[in-house]
Amino acid sequence: MLKLNLKIALRNLWKNKLITTINVGGLAVALASFILIIMYANYETSFDKENPNYDNIYIVGITYPEFKTYYTAAPFAKAIEQNFPEVESVGIIKGSSFELAIKNGKNTLFTNNILQADYDAAKILNITPEGGLIKPTGDVERLSYLSKESMKTLFPDKKDNKPEMVGFGASNLGITGIIAGSIKKNLHSNFTFDGVSIANELGEGDNYDMNDFSIYLQVKPETNLAGLEQKITDLYRVELLKGKTGQQLIDEVKGISTFLDPLSNLHLKPKAGNNAPYKILIALSVLGILILVIASINFTNLSIAQATKRAKEVGIKKVLGAYRFQLTTQFLVEIFMQCFVATILALILAELVLPNFNNLFQTHLSIWRIDNDLSWQLPLILTVITVIAGIYPAMVLSGFKPAVVLKGNFSSSKQSYWLRNGLLVFQFSVAIVFIIGLFIINSQLKYMSKEDLGFTANEVVYIKNITIFNDPVKFEPVRERILRIPGIKSATVATFIPGGENGVNSYTANGLKANIDFVDVDFDYFKTLEIKLKEGRFFSNDFKTDTANAAVINESAVAKYGIKSPIGQIIRGCNIDYKIIGVIKDFKTQGFENAVQPTIYAIKDPCGGYKMQIMLKIEENKMAEALATLKAQWLEINPKDGEDFRYEFLDELYGKLFKKQEQLQSMFFAAALLTIFIAILGLFAFAKYITNGRIKEIAVRKILGAADVQILKLINRSFFIMVVLANIISWPVAYLLTKMWLGTFAYRIDLSLLPFVASAIITILLTVLTVTVQAAKAVKANPVDALKYE
């Protein structure tokens, strides 16, 4: 019976080659998209799952009135370990803040991220060097490891895992150290690094004013997390108030609390951080499911539309004794064969598209990995699609009554008619939502690219550097040497560059104490970035006090503290009474998604970071020559950085803030194209079926004098109504979704009617064109050919 069903299936599929091609092709394209998306979802939701303690690991975060952060004080780790028996282990880590050169003879490696971890943190986070995790003992303060790739760069011929002596920084500094061995660089982890430095303890001598570390806990299974969270908050408040008095301080500490964020949250939706990856994943998943649903709808629609051609076949088989179950099985086998072929084609298409997909989302996905979850997910998807797309058509076909169809009185039911039209409207509704979304995303990105940022990143070069220039006197000779090079207009150094994270500290002004951002700068910082002054003045060498207690604040800081006349006012922080000498206009240092934060800029800041980020403003037509000269003279200009001159363009670094939105744009562009393509395929086949079913009607109308245009108008009418209905349904949905998306931006466009009208025009034109092309053949046919058997 199975063999017979296969033969019949092949015969019917071959007989309807065009419909089969459309069905299989549309489904293959949709499945290829879904395969890529499900692989991406598997990848994004499995970060650090190799860790045996994955479900019991949490990071300690601090909630301030203005923000949340994962940065805490090192002493708090010991306090937690000593007070809570439900916590099995506590560890602390710290990332590096600058690029470090490591050398072995002529081989040089630039590391961007050396992770510092104490022994307990390495155990908790499953950071295990080759040969196992060893606890530093005796006189050995730290054990340093580099990734296998890094070790290969420094020691190309190395075959063992023995310790090696290397140089750090410029060759002329003579700083050396030992690399204890290699460590696996796990790209599928929240803790990526070029190397790891493991210590017995980190943060020795630190106090609760220095929030530089991240604390990780491994808790016992079945721990009451809400209760533990509250107890940690109570302990933190006690620690902050030790040795301190004053009702104002007590009230401030009451406004601070802690939270525990599970390891499973850190990659996609951290409580303190950007949850853009989670939004991208949800958007991708919804797109993938919708594309697959649309393809399945096509399948169902065309199978139902083909029902009348199979009516006599079903009637004869039933007369000869075939049961409904047998007929249902036969039709499901036909559908399964089409789905199976579509799956094979989908894998081929996915493999072809995968390099571009990996490049867009910065992943390393592979279809053919042994441990790939697709090995069980794909058969499941194939089965589900076969059932969803085939069960209703199979039931319709197998349910025909022999007496009716063999008399020639068969016609499709009103139920099937409404279902077909309803599914077609749904297809176009989804496609219209994608088109509108694409228009609005493009408009927002265009706005972001053209809107005034408040500063100029073009022609600014960021020089990577390991020398600390907190003292302006130390940077002045370097600055003078740099400015001698033709083409360089200005030079400055700061703790942070636009596009990166700023520091946060507590400042008091106008009787209000608040946590605001700080950036420690040097002279010409504002000039180099072309930041606009609102009132007052910038830092200047002409005023000696500027290096002692002068500060510049932005408009948001003025609003935050409610200062009416800021110039000359005092803002206190880090035990210094800063005098406000200028107010700058807000500039979008963190892009468009986050509102500009209240920020203070100062030259002297004992509580600040290291001023290492050198920025140069260089004339565009002299850029190449200036950079070449800098490279040749860098050893003389900045001896501690020596021969290791390297740079990046600030506009490219700042542009990384828009990466996620550009990914979303690419997703919607692909989704809009796919949904329109699949919907048009279905519309083409459906129009062919409708037209073929009305050939005799068309012939009679032509004989009675109807013009070709009138007949085309008649055929297009029902499809036109369905597309208009699809627009009416989809507009409110698209409006709500795009409004929610735009709500994630602090600076955004206003929704206009244009994308909605444009989507209607596009879908109506495509529908009319598709139906007209398909119907034109029937309209131009000779009426005699259609009526000669009547």
DSSP-derived 3-state class of residue 104: strand
pTM of the model: 0.79
Asked whether the beta carbons of 34 and 306 are under 8 A apart, the reply is: no
Virtual CA dihedral for 392, 394, 397, 402, nearest 10 degrees? -120
The domain boundary, picked from 656, 690, 709, lies at 656
Q: How far is CA 89 from the centre of its chain?
A: 32
Coil/strand/helix, residue 177 = strand
Separation between Cα atoms, residue 210 and residue 54, nearest integer Å: 29
Residue at 386 is within a domain: yes
Contact 263, 51 (CB under 8 A): yes
- If we measure between CA atoms, which residue out of 691, 660, 719 comes closest to residue 779? 691
Residue 418 lies in a domain: no
**Domain coverage including residue 602:** 460-656
Element (H, E) at 439: helix 414-450
Residue 228 amino acid letter: L
pLDDT computed for residue 263 by the predictor: 92
Is residue 106 predicted with pLDDT exceeding 80?
Answer: yes
List the one residue out of 680, 695, 690 whose CA is nearest residue 763: 680
Q: What is the DSSP letter of 213?
A: B
Please check whether residues 356 and 384 belong to one and the same domain.
Answer: yes
Q: 688 with 636, same domain?
A: no
Residue 607 is assigned to a structural domain of this protein:
yes
How far, CA to CA in Å, does 129 sit from each of 50, 161, 180, 497?
A: 15, 10, 9, 33
Query: Are 698 and 762 within one domain?
Result: yes
Cα–Cα distance for residue pair 199/143, rounded to 1 Å: 7
Residues 36 and 88 in one domain: no
- Do residue 306 and residue 234 come from a single domain? no
pLDDT above 70 coverage of the chain, percent: 87
Taking only the tens place, the pLDDT of each residue in 707-760 is: 778 877 877 888 888 889 999 999 999 999 889 888 888 888 998 999 999 999
Q: How many domains does the chain have?
A: 4
Residue at a domain's end among 210, 232, 265: 265
Among the residue ranges 125-134, 250-259, 362-371, the one predicted with the least confidence is 362-371
| Burial (CB count within 10 angstroms: exposed 0-12, middle 13-18, buried 19+), residue 486 | exposed
- The DSSP annotation for 60-92 comes to EEEE-SS-EES-B-THHHHHHHHH-TTEEEEEE
**Does residue 31 share a domain with residue 127?**
no
Cα separation, 710 vs 707, in Å, equals 5
Is residue 464 over pLDDT 80? yes
Q: Does residue 455 fall inside a structural domain?
A: no
The string of DSSP letters for 616-664 reads EEE-GGGHHHHHHHHHHHHHHHSTTTTT---EEEHHHHHHGGGHHHHHH
| Spacing of C-alpha 195 from chain mean position | 25
Residue type, 158: K
- For all residues of the chain together, what is the average pLDDT? 83
Residue 91, in any domain of the structure: yes
Clarify whether residues 98 and 234 are in a common domain. Answer: yes
In a domain, 782, yes or no: yes
Instruction: Give the other-Cβ count within 10 Å of 111's Cβ.
Output: 18
Give 40-93 pLDDT, tens digit per residue.
Answer: 888 888 898 888 899 999 999 999 887 888 988 888 999 999 999 999 999 999
Residue type, 25: G
**Cβ–Cβ under 8 Å, residues 523 and 471:** no
Residues 561 and 668 both lie in one domain: no
Residues 118 and 246 grouped into a single domain? yes
- Considering the domain architecture, whether residues 393 and 436 belong to the same structural domain is answered as no
Last residue of a domain, one of 222, 247, 265: 265
Residues 670, 771 share a domain: yes
pLDDT in tens, 624-676: 999 999 999 988 888 877 777 888 898 888 877 777 777 777 877 887 777 77
| Residue range 164-176: mean pLDDT, rounded | 81
Asked if residue 92 is part of any domain, the answer here is yes
Stretch 392-402: mean pLDDT, rounded? 66
* Domain assignment of residue 557, yes or no: yes
Say whether 514 sits in a helix, a strand or coil: strand
**Domain co-membership, 560 together with 669:** no
- Supply the pLDDT for residue 398: 64
